[in-house]
Amino acid sequence: MKNIAVIGSGTMGNGIAHAFAQHGYHVTLIDIAAEALKKALATVEKNLGRQVEKGTIAEATKVEALARITTSTDIAAGVQRADLVVEAATENIDLKLKIFQDLDAAAPAHTILATNTSSISITRIAAATRRPEKVIGMHFMNPVPVMKLVEVIRGYSTGDETTRTIMELSGKLEKTPVEVNDYPGFVANRILMPMINEAIASLYEGVAGVEEIDTVMRLGMAHPMGPLQLADFIGLDVCLSILRVLHDGFGNPRYAPCPLLINMVQAGHKGVKSGQGFYMYTTGNKELKPSTRFQKV
């Protein structure tokens, strides 16, 4: 396996491209927007530069990794030589089904088709193709170059050989792959999202403030960041989408998203990406302050 295609050049897509290129794979990064691809390459170069500054990779590794990444705005052209395609597009089921139908038609017969989805059924995605045994989930964590976990999700029809290949490949990226089965939220988000939702509910019900809730979880449970800050980092719209997948998939009211989360997303307060969520985010300001709405008088 030498040639990798990555669909989507956003935060996860460019991170996945970065990880593969750094470890010697030739990567075609595909996006319908040429400007998005240009921005993605700049991000990869900046992040590789940070690794050089920290001494985790050599300057030569950075230069070689960047040289291994090419871009395309055409899916069919971009995947024609791919041994593996990793889809990292927006978390939208209709969009993903369309992409996988297109990939199935364009990619060589031997190509494994993976999705970086954080919650959508691998089985449902695979059913949109004529090669369900070669469809699998590769759920990378953000930021991809740093985080070691890859949640490898087997759909109902995913083949043993496909699973073995992806588990071994993840190891070659210096990641730790964990094999899980295809149920709503898999493992990571089935456990994480109810915790985040409960933290939001605690704020909504006036149990404690933003900083207090996050401090309890950081200091009391040894979490690197509190659940409200983490929700901002993930994207409140993404959290809402995953909770709705869990709620629909299990039909259990415990997964129903908190009304505060719904209102915040509808108001456009999506966390880091929008500049405001439970905290405020401004360029050049590293001081973390709760959003005005949640500040104490």
Phi-psi region of 91 (alpha: psi -120 to 50; beta: other; left: phi over 0): beta
Active site residue 53: no
Q: Which of 44, 39, 49 is nearest to 15 (CA)?
A: 44
Which own/partner pairs from 283-288 qualify as long-range (CB within 8 Å, at least 24 positions apart)?
Answer: 288/229
Say if residues 226 and 218 touch (Cβ distance below 8 Å): yes
Q: Which of 47, 151, 202, 241 is catalytic?
A: 151
Catalytic residue among 3, 47, 118, 197: 118
- Three-class SS of the chain: CCEEEEECCCHHHHHHHHHHHHCCCEEEEECCCHHHHHHHHHHHHHHHHHHHHHCCCCHHHHHHHHHCEEEECCHHHHCCCCCEEEECCCCCHHHHHHHHHHHHHHCCCCCEEEECCCCCCHHHHHCCCCCHHHEEEEEECCCCCCCCEEEEEECCCCCHHHHHHHHHHHHHCCCEEEEEECCCCCCHHHHHHHHHHHHHHHHHCCCCCHHHHHHHHHHHHCCCCCHHHHHHHHCHHHHHHHHHHHHHHHCCHHHCCCHHHHHHHHCCCCEHHHCECCEEEECCEEEEEECHHHCCC
Catalytic residue among 116, 170, 189, 241: 189
Answer yes or no: 189 catalytic: yes
Question: How big is the chain by its Cα radius of gyration, in Å?
Answer: 20
118 in active site: yes
Q: Could you list the active site residues?
A: 118, 139, 151, 189
